[in-house]
Chains A and B, each alone.
Chain A
Amino acid sequence: MPRKPWRRALALAVEALWPPAAALGLSFAVGTVIVAAIGENPLRVLPLIFAPGLGSADGFARVLFDATPLILTGLSVAYAFRAGLFNIGGEGQLYLGAFLAAWVALALPGLPRPVALPLAVLAAAAGGALWGAIPGWLKARFGVHEVINTIMMNFLAVGITGWLVERYLQEPGQMIPHTAEIPAAYQLQPFARGPAGAWLGLDRANPLGASLLVALAAAVVVALVFRRSVEGYRLRAVGLSPPAARYAGIAVGGVTVRAMAVSGALAGLVGVHEVLLYRHRFLDNFSSGLGFLGIAVALMGKNHPLGIVLAALLFGFLNTGALEIDIFTEVPRELVVVLQALIILLVVSFSELALWRRRRRRRREEAA
């Protein structure tokens, strides 16, 4: 009696979605208790988290802006994970990407925009790719675990880029450690400054820009690679069973290096968002853990490109909501940080639980 296909799909969807959904629900339940303990009305405070994002086009655009780098770092984690690799070096990779984008722009100021922009985007990807490929190669060649490698590479990236800025690219007469502004040919302007801005009802200061399109395009490309490409097949084979992949003639080492390089490139594209769009310069030490948050986003999004976009949006909402809570209530904005941490913790726990239940069921079935 084969079950109906839609019922099977439904069962699969429920199985995939319950951990993040339960984590979200439980976190907000805890949030309710905390808010009540502080003496505020939870029914007034908690909706505030989503109010700015849902209240206006401008607010939603800010959510999208905050979500953009998280989409990229989330995709980065998921891409490596497909090959069974745990890339926690997103932070370092995005520093390299951002730095290289800024450096190319400052080094080649005369280029026309049609050449300049793609070049800078490529530089961002290449910086991240390099920083991902190195630990990938160390893993493939010497078997050094990528978790240890990528952590070391994070420290190196922050240090090296900081030093390079200070030594060679520091904007003269400035106390803040950052480079000079990149030439106009390399700059992306926020949508709000363009013709669409007024039409969409965006505030003049709204920072949302084309980096969102880059992130979304990356999500589509990753989804296609996963679903339809030979490379995606190889990633999965290596991720699920390296020995079987090797016996079948798949070059496991090559796949490992490529997976880490592409993963790094995705993180590196954060440079497009940070440097080309947002700051128009490289600021030393700019990221507050975007790379690490990417791990949470990938987990929450079940390593699926669509899931990652949605998870990044959720984190975007939380970010934007923090400000609102700070301004309009007695509750400290750290509530949102607590919620974020709780969500991450619970998603991880529930996913483990789901995996464990699946394994147990499978073992039972296999006791045969």
Chain B
Amino acid sequence: MRVELEALSRSFPGVRAVQDVSLAYEPGRLYALVGENGAGKSTLMHLLYGMLPPDAGRILVDGRPVRLAGSQDAIRLGIGMVHQHFMLVDTLTVAENVVLGAEPGRWGRLDRGAARAAVRRDAERFGLAVDPDAPLESLSVGEAQRVEILKVLYRGASFLIFDEPTGVLTPQEARGLFAILRRLRDEGKTVVLISHKLDEVLSVAEIIDVMRRGRHVGRLAREEAGAERLARMMVGREVLLRVDKPPAAAGPPVLEARGLGVRRRPGQAELADVSFILRRGEILGVAGVEGNGQRELAALVTGLLRPEAGELRLDGRPLRGLTPRRARDLGIRHVPEDRQRTGLVLDMSLRENLILGEEGSPAAGQAGVILPGRVAALARRRVAEYDVRVADTRQSARALSGGNQQKLVLARELDGDPRLLVACHPTRGVDVGAIEYIHRTLLAKRTRGLAVLLFSSELSELLALSDRIGVLYRGRLTAVLDADVVDEETLGLYITGARGVADA
């Protein structure tokens, strides 16, 4: 099946999400569609999948123009889409989920045997290992994604769109998915992988399309594309994939931890005997496999959790009975790991989000009254200063891309002159342009004396930003390493406990 997009355009209030995009897809090839968050990738594919009507332009399948009134029409033509958020029913089995909505059988009776057989056949053919009888709730995210793919295949798709499928996967699962994508291609299907991660695109796709601000800015074969070139095309300027870190000029201690500990509880990892010093103008990275106490350490420093042993000191004074309120008043700021759940109130406007936690301060009003003029001015300044790309600060935070949401949180937490920043995965799920910006901002604040406790699961990020890196393993700080002398390989040994336990 040959698919052509001809001069497609689609606008939303205030944005031209897709502008005059023309593309052709040949069968049996593996394509990637890359671009920063908000570049219009999803919108373009929604046009093709019939979820949105275009404002202008047309879609041709095998040379004939088609009109898609909904995704049913697209499915009928053999176009399928695997969404980032699965649309599966937890209580049904894999086979039931796959056939749901297109059940085999007659007169409302589900032919379970046929369903199972169909699932098994497709699973085998495309290398999608799942047990058809397993209840969905027992599956890992990677397996659930395979069910979603099976579902699309069951409906006869020969053109498959994957919208940022790796965002929810572990590196191993992602590699498994790429193998599946290749297999699908080998079986003659057309595959389009939407992504903003350059390394994964370069490792699987044959042909890479780049979008920027709603426009298609180029198509490259894998051989001619490189990470720098793609990044430049996506962002529209030179991007430093690695920012330069000026030499450290650490001052007196800002934060001191002495023998910190909390017990293990349901939903809480253990932390024992954690001691360190974080100085003014220093970034202390914290490395570790998720669940080794990072979350608890961040919660202790920000007042969300009370230590059961040991103590914290800020500028030499003990922090007893710390609450998030008091932490904030003392100049401790927090970029939490889940910006959508804990960093922002998504249904509030940008403006309102920019005063969250400062709603009672003179920056927002006085005497218990919020002054909209002050709030608007503050929001305008912060949005401009921290490069949040929005037309109107009255729009809701939900409408922003991930990168912009994160910059919004940073604008709020970094503005003013905080003493200490606890930054948790500050670039998780954020596009390259925003990553560069966030890294540069953190380093600039460090130069101006900010102390940063940086949590990240990206070892390269920790190495690029930190002055020293502490390793948490099973709740203990098993090493504090100089970031200039350690490399990713070594750090990998530490975080898996292969090194550093004995000498702790």
Contacts and interface: CB of A to CB of B under 8 A. Distances in A.
A241 B352 contact: no
A37 interface: no
Given A230-B359, A233-B370, A367-B85, A246 B345 contact: no
A231 B368 contact: yes
B107 to A, nearest CB: 30
B188 to A, nearest CB: 27
Nearest to A241: B345
Contacts of A241: 341-342, 344-347
B334 interface: yes
B304 A246 contact: yes
B352 A248 contact: no
A3 B13 contact: yes
Given A229-B369, A244-B343, A234 B14 contact: no
Contacts of B372: 228
A228 B341 CA distance: 25
Interface residues of A, number: 28
B368 A230 contact: yes
A368 B52 CA distance: 12
B478 interface: no
Contact of B43 (A236, A249, A368): A368
A310 interface: no
A366 B340 CA distance: 13
A229 B328 CA distance: 21
Contacts of B343: 244, 247
Nearest to A246: B324
Contacts of A240: 345-348
A247 B336 contact: yes
A248 B368 contact: no
Contacts of A246: 304, 324, 342
A237 B324 CA distance: 15
Interface size class of B (residues with CB under 8 A): 35 or more
A364 B42 CA distance: 11
Interface in A121-146: none
B368 A367 contact: no
Contacts of A229: 368-370
Interface of A is mostly: helix
A250 B352 contact: no
Interface in B292-319: 302-304
A366 B343 CA distance: 19
A233 B352 contact: yes
A367 B83 contact: yes
Interface in B154-212: 163
A236 B370 contact: no
User: Taking each of A232, A248, A250, A364, which has the highest tally of chain B beta carbons within 10 Å of its own beta carbon?
Assistant: A248
A355 to B, nearest CB: 12
Given A233-B352, A241-B345, A364-B51, A249 B398 contact: no
Nearest to B303: A249
B324 A248 contact: yes
B325 A249 contact: yes
B46 interface: yes
Given A230-B369, A364-B51, A367-B85, A248 B13 contact: no
Contacts of A3: 13
B14 A2 contact: yes
A44 B163 CA distance: 61
A233 B352 CA distance: 8
A362 interface: yes
A245 interface: yes
B24 to A, nearest CB: 23
User: Taking each of A234, A237, A249, A250, which has the highest tally of chain B beta carbons within 10 Å of its own beta carbon?
Assistant: A249
A248 B42 contact: no
Given A243-B342, A245-B345, A247-B342, 17 more contacts: A2-B14, A2-B392, A3-B13, A228-B369, A236-B345, A237-B345, A240-B345, A240-B346, A244-B344, A247-B324, A247-B334, A248-B328, A249-B323, A249-B328, A249-B329, A364-B46, A367-B46
Q: Report, nearest first, the 8 A-B pairs whose CB atoms are least far apart.
A: A248-B357, A368-B42, A249-B325, A249-B324, A247-B342, A248-B356, A249-B328, A241-B345
Interface of B: 11, 13-14, 41-43, 46, 51-52, 83-85, 163, 302-304, 323-329, 334, 336, 341-348, 352, 355-357, 359-360, 364-365, 368-370, 372, 391-392, 398
18 contacts: A1-B11, A1-B13, A2-B391, A3-B13, A228-B369, A228-B372, A230-B370, A236-B348, A240-B346, A240-B348, A241-B344, A246-B342, A248-B324, A249-B329, A250-B357, A366-B398, A367-B46, A368-B42
